[in-house]
Amino acid sequence: MKQYNRNTSIYILRHNNHIVKASESPSIPAVFAFTDSTLDSGNNNGLATIFRGDHPLYGRDFPGHIPTGRFSNGKLTTDFLVSNLGIKDTLPA
C-alpha cells in the first residue's frame, strides 16, 4: 500500500509540474504542508532552547552553505515542489 501511495504521489507531482510550467504565471499563491519530519524539518529559532539548527553542519547543502535554523542539511521534497511551482525557493518552516 505504501508503494502504491508513493507512486501515485510521484505521478501527480510530475503531472502537475508539467501543467504549471506550461502556464506563464501559476495561480497557486501558497502551499501548506501538514506532515511529519519527512517533509518538515522544523525551526526553533524563536524558542529559548539548547537544541538549535542555526549552526554549521545544518544547511551545508543549501545555496551559500548557510545554516537556516532548519534541522536539515539541504532542501526537502516540499522545497523542490514550491520551487518548481514558482512560489518560493524554499517552503518556510
Look-up of cell digits 510530475: 14
Asked if 78 and 91 count as a contact pair (C-beta separation under 8 A), the reply is yes
Catalytic hit among 25, 27, 37, 83: 37
Q: Residue 69 corresponds to which cell in the numbers above?
A: 535554523
Look up 37 and say whether it is catalytic: yes
Phi and psi at residue 56, in whole multiples of 5°? -55, 155
Judged by DSSP in three states, 17 sits in helix
Residues forming the active site: 37
